Amino acid sequence: MSTTLVLRLAGALQSWGTRSHFARRDTEREPTLSGVIGMITNAMGYRREDSLERFAGLTMASRTDRAGVLVDDFYTAGVGAWHGGSTEDDRLYWTAWTDTDGAPNHPKEPSKAKGNIGIKHYIADGIFLVLLTGDDQELLNDCAQALRTPRRAYYLGRRGCIPEQPLVLAVASEPPETLLRSWTWLDHPDHHETARQKVAAGVPPQLPILETAASGDPLAEARADVPLGFDPLHREYRTRLVRRSFVPLTASMLQPTANAAQEEIPS
């Protein structure tokens, strides 16, 4: 029997890249499997070169309960150098220039200036229901425990993106297909009344979901976010098939009792 770890991923900023390259750091519109496993392994105290074989059997599905907005961060790196001096009058010794080999360079020689610029993409104010499913109940209980009492800090994809709590909602026995269509809507409580009115009027909000697709599904898309290793020198991923669709928000998903049938499995 499969077991599902139910997570709520929310925070001021999130970033779940799959195609980041040099100066442009992308984000998908929902969490990635590699990003979530990275959170968990960091919470467990894994080193980057440690094997991820224990997580190979996990699948992931997600529901976007609040899409948030995409924001861009234009940044510079590798600029700025201190040339000495010890008083306020020496502040000009601080420059925004480095030489082509990274050595400090006085601002009178701007032709030798060198720095790195780039753009990082983020999701601001997003809220996601994320479901990790596998046959190893002990592993999923260990994942839940690590996220509750982490050995190291973990982030929503990119370092500095602090997650809201609670993050772990439950370890459930129901399949992800059921949980995606029944778990309580996780958006802010002050939005529930407006949603309740729309549901009563017969025009319920449609929640985007991303779930595992069957081989041969004409609507399937490949996503390269299954991590085989996080070692910076040998980082590897393989693809998985996912399918995008929508589920309607229902009245039961707006009630606290919507999860009555979902019980946490003891460790």
Does residue 267 lie within any of the structural domains?
no
Q: Is the same domain home to 37 and 148?
A: yes
Does residue 10 lie within any of the structural domains?
yes
Q: Is the same domain home to 147 and 96?
A: no
CA atoms of 205 and 192, how far apart (whole Å): 11
Q: Is the same domain home to 248 and 125?
A: yes
152 Cβ contact list (under 8 Å, min separation 6): 42, 43, 45
CATH of the domain at 30: 3.30.70.2660
Does residue 200 lie within any of the structural domains?
yes
Q: 243, 244, 261: which is closest to 184 by C-alpha?
A: 261
Does residue 106 lie within any of the structural domains?
yes
Does residue 265 lie within any of the structural domains?
no
| Average pLDDT, integer, range 212-235 | 90
**171: pLDDT strictly greater than 90:** yes
Q: Is the same domain home to 69 and 177?
A: yes
142 Cβ contact list (under 8 Å, min separation 6): 44
Helix, strand or coil, per DSSP, at residue 179 = helix
* DSSP state letters, 129-169: EEEEEES-HHHHHHHHHHHHS-SS---SSSTT-PPPS--EE
Does residue 199 lie within any of the structural domains?
yes
CA atoms of 135 and 55, how far apart (whole Å): 11
Q: Is the same domain home to 97 and 177?
A: no
Residue with tokens 């499995």: 265
Q: How many domains does the chain have?
A: 2
Does residue 266 lie within any of the structural domains?
no
Q: What is the pLDDT of residue 114?
A: 54
Q: Is the same domain home to 24 and 155?
A: yes
The answer to whether the beta carbons of residues 66 and 82 sit under 8 Å apart is no
| Average pLDDT, integer, range 46-75 | 94
CA atoms of 208 and 245, how far apart (whole Å): 6
Q: What is the pLDDT of residue 33?
A: 96
Q: Is the same domain home to 197 and 233?
A: yes
Q: What is the pLDDT of residue 2?
A: 93
Taking the CA atoms of 180, 183, 186 and 191 in sequence, report the sign of the dihedral they define. Answer: positive
68-106 b/e (C-beta count within 10 Å ≥ 16 → b):
beeeeeeeeeeeebeeeeeeeeeeebebebbeeeeeebe
Domain that holds residue 105: 79-114
The answer to whether the beta carbons of residues 109 and 123 sit under 8 Å apart is no
Q: Is the same domain home to 25 and 54?
A: yes
Does residue 187 lie within any of the structural domains?
yes
CA atoms of 151 and 127, how far apart (whole Å): 24
How many CA atoms lie less than 13 Å away from 225 in the CB half-sphere? 27
Q: Is the same domain home to 26 and 140?
A: yes
**pTM across the whole model:** 0.82
Q: What is the pLDDT of residue 1?
A: 82
Domain C-terminal end among 89, 114, 139 = 114
Q: Is the same domain home to 64 and 102?
A: no
Instruction: Read off φ and ψ for residue 103, nearest 5 degrees.
Output: -75, 150
Q: Is the same domain home to 198 and 217?
A: yes
Average pLDDT in the chain = 85
Q: How confident is the model at residue 24 (pLDDT cuts 50, 70, 90)?
A: confident
Taking the CA atoms of 108, 112, 115 and 117 in sequence, report the sign of the dihedral they define. Answer: positive
The percent of residues in the chain predicted with pLDDT above 70, rounded, is: 79
Q: Is the same domain home to 206 and 174?
A: yes
